[in-house]
Structure 1
Amino acid sequence: MQRQIIIGFAALACVCAQVSQPPHYKENYPDTYHFAKNIRHPRDLTWDRKAGGGKVFGTLGHTDDSLFGKAGYKKDIFNDARGTLKGEAYGSRVLGATGDNSYLGGKLDWNNVNKNAQATFELTKQIGGRTNAEATASKVWNFDKNTRLSAGGVVSQDIGHGKPDVGLGAKFEHNW
């Protein structure tokens, strides 16, 4: 008897359910299938709040085959004659049909006062995987109003595994 009552209520709930559509959808698209996926409203939730002299940020959402969440904290450590130093800590979690993934990281970004030199250090960890460290730096030297030299480099390594990857580049420019 209880099973029949539960099935009856479930059938009644299904009959009474309504499918929502955006306003003016029927007028704009009269020949489109009314229950298509493209009429669904985005359901991602994003926030950005000030906390402790910095910002807490995050996003919760989904794609057709996964759920994800991202969150972190950013803060300006200093902004004075030494330049600007910003710090950030973040993490993400993805649940999907092909597997799950968790990712943590932290980053420091420095720019000098006139923005012609910058450096970044980032440390990341995939849970169940390796930890990676990456450092980048670049500088621009202006010799006169038409001549400049820019150079930069990157060093990246999975900590404790193999040799680091190193990249260097430079460019000399003169406008005639």
Structure 2
Amino acid sequence: MKFLIAFGVALAAVVAQEENLEPQYVYVDAYPEWYVQPAVEHQERYRRDVTYSKPVGGGKVFGTLGQNDNGLFGKAGYNRNIFDDHRGKLDGSAYGTRVLGPNGASSHVGGSLNWKNSNAAANLDISKQIHGPSSINAGAGGRWPVGKNGDFSAQGFYGKTSGFPSDYGVRGVYNYRW
């Protein structure tokens, strides 16, 4: 019996001592001298953009110039609200982009129309890469109430880039809330 009491006290003392010990770390400088990097390390560039926006002729002219590690880029365009009344809201825009990078350069021009009302929306975007393919993307969708607790929604899209097959899809869903 004395042995069990002594063993229990010793075990408690060891456990208490283990919890109070701080971990001991050994730092090893294992890299060879030729591997150590110089004092000036490569730092990622922070993004620097210059933006411009000015109301002109019932719309807005916008532009952005910037750079990051992938290169230089610029985008400019014009946005305008065509109508906003009982028919819904229709916005149009025309834009151009230019990208300069280590893998080459590209230029794009395009335009888009976006329409929406209280229960439906549609968009159309047409763009052309200078000396490259053109593309068209269109999408539409809406949600209409059915009865007191239900609604029906439908969506569809179409996309085509010259030289590639068309991409399209349709989806319809009926929701009923119990």
Normalising by structure 2, report the TM-score: 0.71
Q: Give 1:53-64 correspondences, 5 Å limit.
A: 53-64=58-69
- TM-superposed deviation, 1:145: 4.0
Match of 2:175 in 1: 173
1:129 corresponds to: 132
Question: CA-to-partner distance for each residue in 1:16-48, whole Å, 9 max, x for gaps?
Answer: xxxxxxxxxxxxxxxxx898646x664310111
Deviation at 1:61, TM superposition (A): 0.6
Mark the runs of 5 or more structure 1 residues left unpaired by the alignment.
1-32
Report how many aligned residue pairs link the two structures. 140
> Which residue number in structure 2 is paired with residue 69 of structure 1?
74
Establish whether residue 93 from structure 1 lines up as the match of residue 93 from structure 2: no
Residue of structure 1 in register with 2:19 after alignment: none
Aligned residue number for residue 36 of structure 2: none
- TM normalised by structure 1 equals 0.72
Q: Percent of counterpart pairs with the same letter?
A: 44
2:84 equivalent to 1:82: no
Q: Which amino acid aligns with 2:67?
A: H
Match of residue 143 from structure 1: 146
Shift of 1:67: 0.6
Q: How does 1:99-114 map to 2 (within 5 A)?
A: 99-112=104-117, 114=118
When the two chains are superposed, the root-mean-square deviation of aligned CA atoms in Å is 2.1
* AA aligned opposite 2:50: L
Per-residue deviation, 1:135: 1.5
CA distance in 2, matches of 1:135, 1:68: 26
Instruction: Report deviation, 1:154.
Output: 0.8
Name stretches of at least 5 consecutive residues in structure 2 with no aligned partner. 1-38
Q: 1:167 Cα deviation (Å)?
A: 0.7
Q: Which has the larger radius of gyration?
A: 2
Q: Aligned equivalents of 1:119 and 1:73: distance in 2?
A: 20
In the alignment, residue 64 of structure 1 is paired with which amino acid? D
The residue type equivalent to 2:176 in the other structure is H
